[in-house]
């Protein structure tokens, strides 16, 4: 343990391949006690994962927003790295949607406004004596947003976030290929992003919550584009045109035309203030505890529903799988990728050029008229025929010469 801090571990809250999360009591000096969630990393994890873990704790420590989980301490327990965080009893939106079904529109607008506010704070926050963090979450999805039993919204898992701060250990380029495909903006597939990439992920998330349309387990950009089109069509059947247009503006493929965080926050707040039968906080206070109790009793499947339908995994994009092929298929059809976004990011300057994305493809459509192509094709055919005739003539000549020599 470090300093005067002491922990009493009560129970495990969750466990994964990289470690576990526990409910614990943190004792500090002068008898101060705090109920916390402590994430303990396995000692066997890779150096890269260790860097990500410590970076997430440090960046959360720089942020102070009611929709972002607070960090109390980054420490070591018996040789394992651990981070003590705010304990927020609740359920992530993937589990909430799987357990309850589609969410009421006022609840969705409320959740979206709180998340947009948190993301705007993360992007623009300037620590004392420093420069703006320019933090991008890069993995906004239902499973990374928590709704508490008291109606609070919390953004989770900044493990692959990109930010500008002096003590960062993991290089931004190392994380450029990580993400969850259904929620990744087109620029992210090419290794580029800005705060509008998080707008894209939030837009897809909010549309899913309105209709409970599970994301496909696919890595094909083309298939995901078609799925989003179907998702948008379903959403327009359950909300008014103003709300549908806002959500559509959040998932525009061209970064330049996509809504920004400030606009999204303001419009979602206005939509949420319209008269409605459902009050988001009261709704959460009724629904979230019931679903949490159901999970404790081992009823997590909720009447046979597919509990993973809303929670595809975060993965690393590979140059040899269907990611690259899907993107090439898309470029070969009719998608013009957005221009590269130039970011004022000193971190890139400190680590050298950004790592090229394996999905980056050079694509230039032919601008030649059809008749030029026909002419070139005909010319190639004539050359091929001429070559064959020349070879045959040569062979005939050799045969005649051989016959003269024998005679």
Looking at 71-185, which runs of residues are DSSP E strands?
71-77, 80-86, 90-92, 145-148, 153-155, 178-179
Q: What is the dihedral of CA 300, 305, 307, 311, to 10 degrees?
A: -150
Which residue, chain included where needed, has tokens 């016959």?
A: 403
Query: Which sequence positions are flagged as catalytic?
Result: 139
State pLDDT tens for residues 195-211.
799 999 999 999 999 99
Q: What is the pLDDT of residue 262?
A: 96
State pLDDT tens for residues 57-85.
888 888 889 999 998 989 988 889 999 99
Q: Cβ(73)–Cβ(34) under 8 Å?
A: no
Q: Which of 85, 347, 327, 108 is nearest to 225 (CA)?
A: 327
Q: Which two tokens stand for residue 117?
A: 């506010």
**Residue 232 reports pLDDT greater than 50:** yes
C-alpha span between 301 and 285 (Å, rounded): 21
Q: What is the pLDDT of residue 162?
A: 62
Residue range(s) of every CATH 1.10.510.10 domain in the chain: 90-351
- Numbers of helices and strands, H then E, in the chain: 13, 10
Confidence of residue 372 (pLDDT cuts 50, 70, 90): very low
Q: What is the pLDDT of residue 136?
A: 87
Query: CATH homologous superfamily of domain 9-86?
Result: Phosphorylase Kinase; domain 1 (3.30.200.20)
Q: Cβ(74)–Cβ(58) under 8 Å?
A: yes
State pLDDT tens for residues 314-355.
544 444 343 444 443 433 333 333 333 322 332 222 222 233
Q: What is the pLDDT of residue 31?
A: 78
Q: What is the pLDDT of residue 403?
A: 66
In the predicted model, what is the mean pLDDT of residues 364-377?
Answer: 33
Lowest mean pLDDT, pick from 122-131, 219-228, 267-276, 334-343: 334-343
Would you call 315 helix, strand, or coil by DSSP? strand
Residues 6+ apart with CB under 8 A from 260: 195, 196, 199
CATH number among 3.50.50.60, 3.30.160.270, 1.10.510.10, 3.40.720.10, domain 90-351: 1.10.510.10
- DSSP assignment, residue 308? T
**Residue 37 reports pLDDT greater than 90:** yes
> Mean pLDDT highest for which of 32-36, 59-63, 307-311?
32-36
Q: Which residues of 72-91 are buried (b: 16+ CB within 10 A; e: fewer)?
A: bbbbebeeebbbbbebbbbb
Q: What is the pLDDT of residue 223?
A: 93
Q: Which of 295, 327, 365 is nearest to 95 (CA)?
A: 295
In the predicted model, what is the mean pLDDT of residues 211-224?
Answer: 89
Residue range(s) of every CATH 3.30.200.20 domain in the chain: 9-86
State pLDDT tens for residues 98-109.
999 999 999 999
Which residue, chain included where needed, has tokens 């696919």?
A: 218
Q: What is the pLDDT of residue 189?
A: 82
The percent of residues above 70 in pLDDT, for the chain, comes to: 68
Q: Specify the higher pLDDT residue, 260 or 295.
A: 260
State pLDDT tens for residues 152-172.
999 988 766 565 444 444 444
In the predicted model, what is the mean pLDDT of residues 237-245?
Answer: 97
In the predicted model, what is the mean pLDDT of residues 351-372?
Answer: 30
**Residue 90 reports pLDDT greater than 70:** yes
Helices (H), 29-184: 47-62, 93-100, 105-124, 172-175
Confidence of residue 307 (pLDDT cuts 50, 70, 90): very low
């Amino acid at each position: 343990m470090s300093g005067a801090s002491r922990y009493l571990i009560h129970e495990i809250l969750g466990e994964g391949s990289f470690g576990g999360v526990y409910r614990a009591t943190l004792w500090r000096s002068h008898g101060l006690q705090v109920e916390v969630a402590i994430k303990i990393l396995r000692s066997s994890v890779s150096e890269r994962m260790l860097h990500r873990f410590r970076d997430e704790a440090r960046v959360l420590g720089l942020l102070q927003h009611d929709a972002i989980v607070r960090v109390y301490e980054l420490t070591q327990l018996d040789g394992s790295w651990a981070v003590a965080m705010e304990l927020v009893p609740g359920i992530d939106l993937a589990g909430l949607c799987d357990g309850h079904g589609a969410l009421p529109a006022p609840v969705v607008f409320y959740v979206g406004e709180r998340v947009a506010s948190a993301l705007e704070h993360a992007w623009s926050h300037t620590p004392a004596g420093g420069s703006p963090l320019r933090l991008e979450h890069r993995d906004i999805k239902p499973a990374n947003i928590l709704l508490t039993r008291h109606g609070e919204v919390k953004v989770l898992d900044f493990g692959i976030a990109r930010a500008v701060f002096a003590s960062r250990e993991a290089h931004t380029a190392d994380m450029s290929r990580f993400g969850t495909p259904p929620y990744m903006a087109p620029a992210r597939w090419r290794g580029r992003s800005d705060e509008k990439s998080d707008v894209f992920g939030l837009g897809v998330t909010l549309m899913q919550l309105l209709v409970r349309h599970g994301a496909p387990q696919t890595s094909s950009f083309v298939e995901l584009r078609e799925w989003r089109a179907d998702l948008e069509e379903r959403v327009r059947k359950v909300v008014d045109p103003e709300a549908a247009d806002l959500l559509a503006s959040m998932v525009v493929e061209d970064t330049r035309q996509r809504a920004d965080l400030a606009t999204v926050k303001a419009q979602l707040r206005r939509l949420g203030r319209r008269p409605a039968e459902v009050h988001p906080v009261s709704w959460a206070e009724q629904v979230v505890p019931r679903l949490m109790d159901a999970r404790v009793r081992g009823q997590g499947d909720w009447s046979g529903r597919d509990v993973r339908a809303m929670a595809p995994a975060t993965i690393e994009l590979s140059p040899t799988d269907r990611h690259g092929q899907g993107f090439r298929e898309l470029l070969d059809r009719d998608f013009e990728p957005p221009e590269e976004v130039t970011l004022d990011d000193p971190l890139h300057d400190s680590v050298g050029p950004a790592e090229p994305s394996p999905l980056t493809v050079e694509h230039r459509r032919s601008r030649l008229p059809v008749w030029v192509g026909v002419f070139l094709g005909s010319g190639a055919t004539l050359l091929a025929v001429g070559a064959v005739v020349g070879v045959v003539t040569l062979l005939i000549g050799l045969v005649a010469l051989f016959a003269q020599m024998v005679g």
